[in-house]
């Protein structure tokens, strides 16, 4: 079993898209659809006066987000044992949908890799 973990730093995001649960959840659902991940459960917390933390537990692992609208910043993880290319597409879509002007993405291969 091998899996992929994308650790995403999204800078200069549209603060209106990361301020409240509604837009964040809508974008996270779009990302799940693109990645082909099957949602089991999701939970979001609204901070006051603004900011959101959320996690989507999926059959293939999870997607999570934490936002700081006052800094136009969001931190995300996409972790899946599913299709790696679809996870990368979901990452690109997140950058687009949150209107991130700058980003840094680290890709880590995780899991048990069989030696030949």
Active site residue 53: no
Kindly list the domain boundaries of the chain, sorted by start residue.
Answer: 2-111
Active site residue 61: yes
Distances in whole angstroms, Cα of residue 17 to Cα of each of 68, 77, 82, 97: 11, 17, 27, 8
Q: 85: burial class by Cβ within 10 Å (0-12, 13-18, 19+)? A: exposed
Q: Is pLDDT at 26 greater than 90 in this prediction?
A: yes
Q: How far apart are CA 97 and CA 95, in angstroms?
A: 6
Which CATH entry fits the domain spanning 2-111: 3.10.129.10, 3.60.90.10, 3.40.120.10, 1.10.3720.10?
Answer: 3.60.90.10
Active site residue 3: no
Q: What is the pLDDT of residues 81-116, one digit of tens each?
A: 888 898 999 999 999 999 999 999 999 998 866 665
- Residue of 61, 64, 91, 100 with catalytic role: 61
- Residue of 5, 53, 62, 81 with catalytic role: 81
């Amino acid at each position: 079993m091998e899996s992929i973990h994308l650790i995403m730093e999204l800078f200069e995001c549209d603060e209106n898209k990361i301020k409240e649960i509604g837009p964040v959840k809508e974008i996270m659902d779009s990302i799940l659809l693109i990645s082909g991940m099957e949602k089991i459960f999701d939970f979001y917390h609204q901070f006051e006066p603004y900011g959101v933390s959320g996690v989507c537990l999926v059959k293939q692992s999870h997607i999570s987000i934490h936002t700081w609208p006052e800094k136009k910043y969001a931190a995300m993880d996409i972790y899946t044992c599913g299709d790696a290319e679809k996870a990368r597409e979901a990452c690109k879509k997140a950058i687009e949908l949150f209107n991130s002007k700058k980003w840094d993405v680290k890709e880590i291969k995780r899991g048990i890799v069989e030696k030949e």
